[in-house]
Structure 1
């Protein structure tokens, strides 16, 4: 399980980093890969970090 400071990626809207503390949903995609939705702490949008 990731720690609160592990990176999920960057916000596709504002480019700021998103850590696992902001994780909302983890899921498995149809192609077998994992996906996440998180809230960006900077702009407040719910995004799929890149």
Structure 2
């Protein structure tokens, strides 16, 4: 997992900011970019931060 302290992005469901401590899974996509799944505390969903 990453050691970053900046937000991971926004929740696509409710628009809440996703913080690094909410990260559940980080993986490398086929195109070489990093994919992430995080749990949004505001709406309770597992999302891909945008």
- TM-score w.r.t. the length of structure 1 is 0.91
Gaps in structure 2 of 5+ consecutive residues: none
RMSD: 0.7
CA distance in 2 between partners of 1:46 and 1:10 (Å) = 12
Q: Which has the higher strand share?
A: 1
Q: Count how many residue pairs are aligned between Structure 1 and Structure 2.
A: 48
Aligned twin of 1:29: 29
Gaps in structure 1 of 5+ consecutive residues: none
List structure 1 segments (4+ residues) > 4 angstroms apart after TM superposition. Answer: none
